[in-house]
Structures are given as C-alpha cells and as structure tokens.
Amino acid sequence: MEKTITNQELIAKAKQAMTYAYTPYSNFNVGAALLAADGRVFLGCNIENASYGATNCAERTAIFKAISEGAKDFVKIAIVSSAQDVTYPCGICRQVLAEHMPEGRLLFEDAKGNIVEHGMDEILPLVFSKKDLEK
C-alpha cells in the first residue's frame, strides 16, 4: 500500500482537480479528491453542459472514474470549490457517495483554511440504500 495521505494533502489534490473544471455557465468550480482504501487517489471536477441535465458534479466524476478503474473501497473524499468556503455535495452526489462509501469521511476547507470533517451518516442521514430494495 502507498504512503498514507494526510487530510491537507487530499485537500490540495482537490484544489488541483478544481483547476480542471469546465464551468462556462455557472463559473462555479468544484474539485474532489477521492481516497481509495488501496491508497490510490482519484480526482474529479465538475463538467457543465449547455443541456444542464448532462452536467456532472466533481464528486460523482471522482467516484465514477475510480470505479471504472477497478477501485471499490473508499476511505474519504475532499471537496473544495471556487467559493473558497465549505461547499457540501448536492443531493444526487450524497446518494452516490452514501452507496459507495457509507462509512467514509468527507473533508472540506472553510474560508479560514480550516479542515472541516463529517461522516457520511451526518451528510445524508436516513439514506435510501440497497437494504431498502430488499424489503
């Protein structure tokens, strides 16, 4: 396994990912850095489209990229935005993150540069999950 990455390093990688955002409509850039259990880090940025429904968020870009490259277990994700303050995931991203990293941790940076950390259960309590489909 690779060297353990610090929360500050993961935030820095999310900032790097944010520079790749394609946001000609909102000019609101988001970057995400997803840490897999095997030590790999997957970057994601938001990618807008003139057909707004085709837009993809940074968090889902990172998750989909990781899964498409064979990663399955995720430890944490760092999320930053051009607002330069804590920016929480949208509802769709919360649902995707809850399915793929239910025990994961989410890292954000506030306006003062402090790292804010939450568990997935805090971000999306009462989640709809695979268990609900088995009822």
pTM metric for this prediction: 0.93
Query: Is 19:47 a contact under the CB 8 Å cutoff?
Result: no
Tell me the helices (H) and strands (E) count for the chain, helix number first.
5, 5
The matching CATH number, chosen from 3.20.20.80, 3.40.140.10, 1.20.1050.10, 3.40.190.10, for 7-133 is 3.40.140.10
Whether 103 is catalytic: no
Q: Which residues pair with 31 in a beta bridge?
A: 45, 80
Residuewise pLDDT in 10s, the chain (135 residues): 446 899 999 999 999 999 999 999 999 999 999 999 999 999 999 999 999 999 999 999 999 999 999 999 999 999 999 999 999 999 999 999 999 999 999 999 999 999 999 999 999 998 888 788 887
Give the CA-trace dihedral at 125, 78, 47, 63, to 10 degrees.
Answer: -70
Place of tokens 């929480």: 88
User: Which residue of the set 2, 9, 48, 59 is catalytic?
Assistant: 59
Q: Which residues pair with 106 in a beta bridge?
A: 77, 118
Query: Is 101:72 a contact under the CB 8 Å cutoff?
Result: no
Where are the chain's structural domains? 7-133
